[in-house]
Structure 1
Amino acid sequence: MASRPVVQEKTRGNNIGGKQKNVRAEGRNRRALGDIGNLVHAPSVEGKPQTQISRPITRSFCAQLLANAQAAAEKNSKKPLPEVVIGVVGKEGALKDAHQKKEFVKLKKEAVIVISPDEDEKSQRSARKSSKKTGKTLTGILTARSKAACGISKKQKDPIVNIDAADVDNELAAVEYIEDIYKFYKLAENDAQVRDYMDSQPEINSKMREILVDWLVEVHKKFDLMPESLYLTINIVDRFLSMRTVSRRELQLIGISSMLIACKYEEIWAPEVSDFIAISDNAYIREQVLLMEKAILGKLEWYLTVPTPYVFLVRYAKASVPADQEMESMAFFFAELGLMNYSTIIQYCPSRLAAAAVYAARCTLNKTPLWNETLNHHTGYSEDQLMECAKFLVQFHSGAAENKLKAVLRKYSNPDRAAVALFPPARNLIPA
């Protein structure tokens, strides 16, 4: 029997680019690894793409997955630990449960309570309110009733009165700049403050100065000069005496020369040199007055624009609302009493002396309250800061009748100035 020839089967295919492409798929009987069903697909966490695990799930691999999940949970303690549900692989590599062909790592869901900031704040407020006692105590009720029966109530601070409201249309009042002007005065008053000079004057003392000021008050009244001229005259005298040693005979000459300078600075029609010579009973000649005037201006370096107590007194008397002639005259009376006393001029600056004069005037006239927020605002001084100086001024008032120097007393006993010098001294400022 002849043998059949063995014919080799030709391979079918097309040559593309010099290479042969097989049509028959190799390993038709093989099953794809993805169809077996023992692979685990991890779910995407926080938007990350899924990572496919391409190895069979064995017990050792399952333990490794659990360890990795616990390590990730420790790094991020805020996230709950994932609960891994994995099928168990048998000896032959098949899953025991047919319904668990494709299992995923399931994240254990925990109940999370989200509290908005508004709700949190409201809850805290409600907790605070609940912790506090809402009911009034019996002691508090009885105390409130007692205060109401006695007329005692919790008073609010007095509002600050606008003392410049009436002068808004007055261009000469300079309402727009008045606050800045007085701030500058407060800064500049220290430069013009007179130091203690009486120890450096061998021939004069404080009593002689007091006699000179009393005489200058009389001359000022005789010539009917502006109030500014008197305050500037005394300031020039004290500043010159603090810079130069003078003899007793020159003291009156310094007084009339200083008033001549002040009148030229402040007055529209200043008295002439002959007028001052006549009022001093011809004690000096014209050349002496002019030479002393030149010497004073040279020592002061022509510095005459100084804040005297007068500039502060005008403002503070205006702040003592309601301002009237009686109140203004009383304040000027105390200020001029302070000008005569040497220790007062040396110890207190012009602004404090003016504020103390207003306070002493309010105490003498029994104004209520004695000091208010408006005065505190405009003067910059509290009631306690003015008490010591005000007591000195009231002592001068109480002893004015027995004092031999009565120029200020006579000046303010005139009805034109409301006769304020005849008022009894303030009892609350007289030491017991």
Structure 2
Amino acid sequence: MASRLVNNNPHLPHHQQHHKGEVKQKNVIADGRSRRVLQDIGNQVAERALQGGKKPNTEVANATLLAEGVAALGKGGDAVRKAAAVANQKKGIDKPKPETVIVISSDDESDEGKFVSRRATRKEVKVKAFSSVLSARSKLAACGLTNKPKDLEINIDAADVDNELAVVEYVDDIYNYYKLSEHEGQVEDYMDAQPDINAKMRSILVDWLSQVHRKFQLMPETLYLTINIVDRFLSKRFVSRRELQLVGISAMVIACKYEEIWAPEVNDFVFVSDNAYAREQVLVMEKSILGELEWYLTVPTPYVFLVRYVKASIPSDKEMENMVFYLAELGLMHYPTIVSYSPSVIAASAVYAARCTLGKSPIWTDTLKHHTGYSEDHLGDCAKLLVKYHSAAAESKLKAVYKKFSSPDRGGVALLAPSQNPV
């Protein structure tokens, strides 16, 4: 096929036009060599002498001087000597400075893929690519050989790298989003706007919901979401004392549908409420709650932060985990905690108070500070409040949370002495 190509471009000189069947192979080879493989972007190329089809300045100068010398041969020996002197003088002036030319390497192992050096000493110059420098720095950082001070933070996700459910690649971004959006699901002080209920009635309701939650053996996420739904609804709608328990039942029905795989039926909740409400009343209240909250149920409750912060509390064991959740549920039951602190602060304070109670040292680590975003100064007030609830739990009339965490399956952490002086 190549032999049939004809180049009859009228704009080219006659000697550059190819006659039919006369395609020069060297031109094909030259075109192939001009297409170089793009390699590492770190190889900054200077191909002034190798590309563009132009000869170096020294070769042009030598050719010119040679032509002048040949022309001078007919004029005698003196002219030849003068031409030679002029050539030597120009050669000294036009002598290029030593420079290093780096050629982009190709995939083959030909001479074109090597570094070219034009220094007077003819020594090979090794230039590292930008990506290789970054790789070397990464290896040094992984081995701890950099000049940075030793990092005291512990990678709490190292053991879950191969666990797809742990989503190690995205877990930090997820919790950053939780921190940004947690205030959307947090309520402010609304009890003054409720003419028929008070904070004590709310605590009684939460205590009863904790019993129902344990009786049905529901997921812990369900309890936290139930309380969040109750508080957000009470902050938007006036509720009579008679309907308060109905709000709690309907909120738990919604939370079960959201969190549970096998949610209890509405009739089950009617039964545990001693038939105080009919099934139709529960469904009507459920619809009212969803309409008032605009179906906004994906909110970061304290539970999502507790799971992460317990993992960051190293060393962590079952006793530590039970103590953290015990203090957190005590905080949920008391109205001042909910309206005064965000979910992440409640969770971090529960971890802080639990470490104080169990005598962990240090109380607050760099790893906890990194993952929670809070220092000890931010958590002192909330942690003291949780320890106060712990101290009064044994004597309180509301014992659902206390009995739950006094059982052997919870390690009996509620029976431990509370911390005396959380800083």
TM-score, structure 1 normalization: 0.63
Report the counterpart of residue 104 of structure 2 in structure 1. none
- Confirm or deny that 1:328 pairs with 2:321: yes
- Matching residue of 1:131: none
Task: State the distance in 1 between where 2:356 and 2:408 align.
Answer: 21
Counterpart CA distance in 2 for 1:340 and 1:215 is 10
Whether 1:305 aligns to 2:309 is: no
How far residue 157 of structure 1 moved from its aligned partner, in angstroms, is 7.7
Aligned position for 1:201: 194
Q: CA deviation at 1:429?
A: 2.7
Fraction of identical pairs, as percent:
72
Aligned to 2:284: 291
Return the match for 1:232 from 225, 229, 232.
Answer: 225
1:337 aligns with 2:330: yes
Change beyond 3 A, Cα 1:332–1:158: farther
Pairing 1:2-401 to 2, within 5 Å after superposition: 159-401=152-394
Q: Which amino acid aligns with 2:398?
A: L
Q: 1:268 to 1:385 in 2, by over 3 A?
A: same
**Structure 1, residues 378-401: CA drift from partner, whole Å, max 9, x if none?**
000001110110000001000111
Per-residue deviation, 1:417: 0.9
Secondary structure of 1:260 counterpart: helix
| Distance in 1 between residues matched to 2:246 and 2:374, nearest whole Å | 38
Q: Secondary structure at the match of 2:184?
A: coil
Query: Is this contact kept in 2: 1:158–1:372, CA < 8 A?
Result: no
Describe the SS at the equivalent of 2:250. Answer: helix
String of CA shifts for 1:247-289, please: whole Å, max 9, x gaps: 0000000000000000000000000000000000000001100
- Aligned 8 A contact 1:203 1:247 in 2: yes
The residue that corresponds to 1:27 in the other structure is none
Displacement of 1:193: 1.1
CA RMSD of aligned residues (A): 1.1
Q: Deviations over 1:76-108 (max 9, x none)?
A: xxxxxxxxxxxxxxxxxxxxxxxxxxxxxxxxx
**Aligned letter for 2:230?**
V
**Pair 1:421-2:414 in alignment:** yes
Q: Residues of 2 paired with 1:198 and 1:338: CA distance?
A: 17
Conserved 8 A contact 1:158-1:373? no
**1:420/1:368 Cα in 2 relative to 1: closer, same or farther (>3 Å)?**
same
Letter of the 2:291 partner, please give it. G
Q: In structure 2, how many angstroms separate the alpha carbons of the residues matched to 1:428 and 1:186?
A: 29
Counterpart of 1:412 in structure 2 is 405
1: distance between equivalents of 2:167 and 2:394?
41
Evaluate the alpha carbon distance shift between residue 158 and residue 371 of structure 1 in structure 2; reply closer, same or farther with a 3 A threshold: farther
Kept in 2, the 8 Å contact 1:157–1:373? The answer is no
More helix per residue: 1 or 2?
A: 2
Task: Give the partner amino acid of 1:404.
Answer: K
Which amino acid in the other structure matches residue 251 of structure 2? S
Q: Structure 1 unaligned runs (5+)?
A: 1-155
1:163 and 1:308 map into 2 onto residues whose CA distance is 22
CA distance in 2: counterparts of 1:186 and 1:406, whole angstroms: 32
Contact (CA 8 Å) 1:212, 1:252: kept in 2 or not?
yes
Report the counterpart of residue 142 of structure 2 in structure 1: none
Q: What SS does the aligned partner of 2:255 have?
A: helix
- Counterpart of 2:194 in structure 1: which amino acid? Q
Per-residue deviation, 1:297: 0.2
TM-score normalised according to structure 2 size: 0.64
Unaligned runs of 5+ in 2: 1-148
Supply the distance in 2 between the matched residues of 1:180 and 1:404 (Cα, whole angstroms). Answer: 42
* Letter aligned with residue 173 of structure 1: A
Secondary structure of 1:189 counterpart: helix
User: Separation in 2 of the partners of 1:211 and 1:353?
Assistant: 20
Deviation per residue, 1:313-346 (Å, 9 max, x gap): 0000000011211001000000000001101100
Rounded to whole Å, the distance in 2 between the matches of 1:352 and 1:375 is 12
SS at match of 1:427: coil
How far apart, in 2, do the equivalents of 1:336 and 1:303 lie?
23
The residue type equivalent to 1:282 in the other structure is: N
Q: Secondary structure at the match of 1:190?
A: helix
| Partners of 1:413 and 1:421 within 8 A in 2 | yes
Q: How many residues align?
A: 275
Equivalent in the alignment of 1:41: none
Taking a change above 3 Å as real, the CA distance of residues 200 and 415 of structure 1, as seen in their structure-2 partners, is same
